Structures are given as C-alpha cells and as structure tokens.
Amino acid sequence: MEAVEDVLRITMASGSKSEVVKASTQIQGALKPDPVAAGDHLSEGLYFIDREPLRGFYTIDVDEMLVEIVNVKQV
C-alpha cells in the first residue's frame, strides 16, 4: 500500500500527471513476465526499475511467487 501512496503523492505534485500514471502502469507490466530481468539488483533481494519519471523499488519472494513494489520515487 505504501508504494500506491507514493505514486499518488508524486502524481498530485507532478506537472505531468499522465506521465506518472503511464510510468506506474509500465512498471507493473514489466514486472509481470520476469521481475528479475525487468530491473536491476540493488542489494540483498532489493531490485529497482526505472520508467521515467519514476523509479520503483521491489522485492521478489521466489517461494511465495510474490513481487512487492516497496517504494516509488521520482527520478
């Protein structure tokens, strides 16, 4: 839920709201088929993916087959 709040906050503050929403959708779509290949490994199970103007940080739980976007920042 925290990542959703991040996207909403960035969207409201952004001059280009449609670009933020588009980037958020692109991040979600890119992670579905192969989250490991979609982003870059940062450290200890934390990955990031860039879709201008956003950077999403996410974790992958292989056992549970779960990808969790834990934070979203404006690039």
Mean pLDDT calculated for residue range 67-72: 92
- Model confidence at 1, in pLDDT bands (50, 70, 90)? low
3-class state of residue 34 by DSSP: coil
Q: What is the pLDDT of residues 15-30, one digit of tens each?
A: 788 888 899 999 999 9
Cβ–Cβ under 8 Å, residues 6 and 13: no
Cβ–Cβ under 8 Å, residues 54 and 73: yes
- For the whole model, what pTM was predicted? 0.85
Identify the sign of the CA torsion 39, 2, 22, 67.
positive
